Structure 1
Amino acid sequence: MHTFFAPDLAGPTYTLPEDESKHAVRVLRLGVGDEVELLDGRGGLYKAAVADANPKRCQLRITHHESVPPRSYFTHVAVAPTKNLDRMEWFVEKAVEIGVERISFLRCARSERRELKLERLEKIAISALKQSGQAWLPQLDELQDFGAFVAGVTPETTFIAHLEEGERTSLAQVAGAGPGCCVLIGPEGDFTPQEIALALAKGIQPVTLGASRLRTETAALAAVFTAHIGR
């Protein structure tokens, strides 16, 4: 069954945007009576039937609705985006497929990417949502300076994954212990000692993701997976 994203769905009918209408009618060749699935990204799962197969405004009639509650454990990853945006797109896609509630983007001292437009990443997230059948679309936050982000976190449920010497706890041991967690992932070259010190002074706990030195996007995905299986 074909799936469409309908964030503004309300009422017994829904009209697909023009680009989606054209795809549904001209490419997928959907006709009156054909069934589709709709996701609103807020826990709503819908079944619908094509009522008007117009390639400019394909109208759907809602036939069934169910609500999926939010997951009991909240996973939040804050990551410094890579210079090659394809690697961040890959991370967002896989993180949504596994199950993540929020992704924030950090501007760190060693960041190679200083600006970030979310439009493309949001489209990747929606595509992954439809593909994986997830009911909740993750929140994607604008790029923010590391210091400003750290100032606003809850330290008891926030962890920083860094490669500096010193005692660190395995994320697998602490993820899942509370209502959720936020994991900070640095850029290629890691967080600076000053950034690590700032996080530790805030009360953020240092963690490790394992013995291997991981790429930024791999580390971010490992954090999502570790938190997910720790629930």
Structure 2
Amino acid sequence: MKLLKTSATLAHAPLLALLLAAPLGACTDKQEQAAGPEEEVLPNIQVELPGSPDFDEARAPVRYEDETYSIFGLRKDIDENLKRGESGEEVIVKGWVQEIYVPPECPEGELCPPGKQPHFWITDKADSKGKKRAMMVVNYYFPIPEWDEDTQKLWEEEPLVVVELGKEYTIKGKFKRFSDSGFAHDNGLLEFVSYKVTDPESGEETWISPPNSSWHPKTVAMEEEQNREMQDRMREEAEKLKKKKGD
């Protein structure tokens, strides 16, 4: 009987060992799962971000050394400067020609709407793009019809106002929001009066106004002469009338 009991115990020994080993194996698997795979160590990469834009760098001074205004300078105190322009006060602005308006061509035999009045755009920087910081300049050219030979002859000896793309000019004008010729701009535009031209030979500087404009010195002189003649006629008629009453 004792022998049988011992045999039975020995017979069940492998099963007991297997049962005892099972929890140990399970614990080991859980520990491995908890630990997980080893994390990959990434190289230390340094990313250099661009610096903050310097908005002051894109701005011109309010006035240059020769006391001419920049576009930024005129718009810096826009309300006050617009008020001065609307009252007829002139300012001198320096700028680079960014764009010159050219009316679209009309195909022969077709009826096309008339183009806009001549105008161009100036900027504070020679390489400025877009119209955000640009300023429109209007009333710099007054075309004379080909059939009006008398007017053409009157102005044929006077120099034209000629501007070129990419060149810098010093312009005298009136800073306004609404021009007399129908243009308008919220940030103000410049009604052209004259621009400074330097004689390449003598170096002499002169101010040139658009021929056929109402403010050209020649136009002003002709109007003054007409007014004098009219006053003389009125004076003569008044004297004749006075003599008639005396008789």
Q: TM (normalized to structure 1)?
A: 0.23
The structure showing larger relative contact order (alpha-carbon pairs under 8 Å, at least 6 residues apart) is: 1
Q: TM (normalized to structure 2)?
A: 0.22
Q: Which structure has greater strand proportion?
A: 1
